[in-house]
Structure 1
Amino acid sequence: MSDTAGGRFLLPPLALYIHIPWCVRKCPYCDFNSHAAGPTLPEEEYVDALLADLDIDLQHVHGRPLTSIFFGGGTPSLFSDRALGRLLEGIERRIAFAPDIEITLEANPGTFEQAKFKGYRALGINRLSIGVQSFQEAKLKALGRIHDGGEAIRAADMARAAGFDNFNLDLMHGLPEQSIEDALFDLRTAIAQAPTHLSWYQLTMEPNTVFWNQPPVLPEDDLLWDIQEAGQALLAAEGYAQYEVSAYAQPGKQARHNLNYWTFGDFLGIGAGAHAKLSTPHGRILRTWKTRLPKDYLDPGKVYQAGERVLDSDELPFEFLMNVLRLTDGAPTELFSQRTGLSLQQLEQARREAERRGLLQGDDTRLAATAKGQLFLNDLLQLFLA
């Protein structure tokens, strides 16, 4: 802990993100760092590289245990339980695990094998995030997905049979030619699988994707709004409380890894293209990013880290609020100083203007957007730009 810029800086909790960059096939809407897998995956070489990458990043741990680990992608479930087991063992030899650590693995229904998932659960992986997107054949085909609706349902069944009592289903809305009835069918089908968590978010057109260059016909804005309102009402009625812009959970089942991210916690990032946000005991905050292409990441002649940038103090208010204001309940006001080392007084003028416009709650103990502020989050954030 150290004094910085009028506040008391505390090192935040530490998480670990692991990027597995391969998929069976690249989806046309996806702008993540993912690449079509060949007939064989370089599992052993990639695990070796991940552990070597982590060794270099151990300087940023500062004695903190890992509160969560998240395997993202790509499709991490393409890797065998043996490879992931060796990786987790290697990580735990290097960094202590918190007693209640949350370990999440992303998976797609088309890659589900019940025996493999029992193996994952035996490793200590205790949460799955299953990329369903839709349960309807026409919508899945339009999205370029390789599974069908039946496989998605079986994936949830297999997750439970493998011992996972905590899992997320990923769903999209605003799909090509989607009606309110289509969107609600997907939600009802998902809810019937009894996930503890649902990520429900709108399909967007991102640069450097097939859909960006060849955009499908999407629902009009009025229909998108109707879908959003009807879906949120259904989720609330079924006991899924919204705690972030696109995240809904049963009581006590919010994704702890994501909560750490949204409350400006620290996270290490290893793997091709992985990003990290890290704090130093002296109050500096930096963002790092790793070599993006798998072939370069696996090249022993190249370095893992592609870049690093220290955040300026005048950037920190926006960086902090860009995350915490996505949360329905926001964050306690004291968290601002704890995470940034800055005085809350720096926000005073912008806070009062945001409150005057009805975008920020008038609560001196919390930083939280109003319902209107959640809808116009970009407008709210602009008030805090330096």
Structure 2
Amino acid sequence: MHLYVHIPFCHRICPYCAFFKHTPASTDMKSFIRALGREAESRAAALATNRGGETATLYFGGGTPSMLSDTHLGHLMETLDRLLPVDKLDEFSFEANPATFTEKKVRFWRGLGMTRVSLGVQSLDSGILHLLGREHTPAQALHSVEMLKNAGMPHINM
């Protein structure tokens, strides 16, 4: 079984993106995280039934999941880990914008058991990044890869 959790928040809405998303200022993040936890709990039986020893992936996509604070992500992961223990997963993936995390945050992610970060790096060309409305620079993109490597993130993709 593979579980996808959609985090629909972005600092800025990129003009090319067709996914459901909005800026976090219009949403009570604490309530959103609680609601996600309640949704997961309401589906706990289905999660347990479908798990059945099969390969499992937990994938946070968006939006920009890396925008979640350590507190919000920690609360959500407490709930999810009870229902689908992270240490039993083959992969725990997370989408991230290079402009939205620090080394401290990456260490927190590794502590949660995260095994893959998928970086939203559409280009390493400043002009193209500007055209796409991206908020990171080529240097930030490359630095984010180094931060992930230094924290021991097993898998990184762009």
CA RMSD of aligned residues (A): 1.9
Q: Aligned partners of 2:114 and 2:145: how far apart in 1?
A: 16
SS in 1 for 2:104: helix
Aligned partner of 2:152 in structure 1 is 163
Q: Does 1:152 align with 2:152?
A: no
Structural mapping, 1:339-358, within 5 Å: none
Q: Aligned partners of 1:132 and 1:63: how far apart in 2?
A: 33
Q: Does 1:20 align with 2:7?
A: yes
| CA displacement at 1:129 relative to structure 2 | 0.3
Indicate how the Cα distance of structure 1 residues 152 and 163 shifts in structure 2: closer, same or farther if over 3 A, else same: same
TM-score normalised over the length of structure 1? 0.38
| Structure 1, gaps ≥5 residues long | 1-13, 170-386
More strand by share: 1
More helix by share: 2
Q: Aligned partners of 1:54 and 1:151: how far apart in 2?
A: 34
Contact 1:16–1:69 under 8 Å retained in 2: yes
Q: Aligned partners of 2:37 and 2:101: how far apart in 1?
A: 26
| CA displacement at 1:63 relative to structure 2 | 5.4
Post-superposition Cα deviations, 1:77-101, rounded to whole Å, max 9, x if no partner, equal 0012232122122112123456343
Contact 2:94–2:117 under 8 Å retained in 1: yes
| Structure 2, gaps ≥5 residues long | none
Q: Aligned partners of 1:42 and 1:79: how far apart in 2?
A: 12
Q: 1:45 aligns with which of 15, 22, 31?
A: 31
AA matched with 2:107: K
Aligned partner of 2:18 in structure 1 is 31
Aligned partner of 1:89 in structure 2 is 78
**Percent of residue pairs bearing the same amino acid type:** 37
Contact 2:86–2:92 under 8 Å retained in 1: no
| CA displacement at 1:112 relative to structure 2 | 2.1
AA matched with 2:157: N
Count residues with an aligned counterpart: 155
Which of structures 1 and 2 has the larger relative contact order (alpha carbons within 8 angstroms, sep 6+)? 2
Indicate how the Cα distance of structure 1 residues 29 and 18 shifts in structure 2: closer, same or farther if over 3 A, else same: same
TM-score normalised over the length of structure 2? 0.89
Indicate how the Cα distance of structure 1 residues 157 and 96 shifts in structure 2: closer, same or farther if over 3 A, else same: closer
| CA displacement at 1:71 relative to structure 2 | 0.5
- Which is higher, the Rg of structure 1 or of structure 2? 1
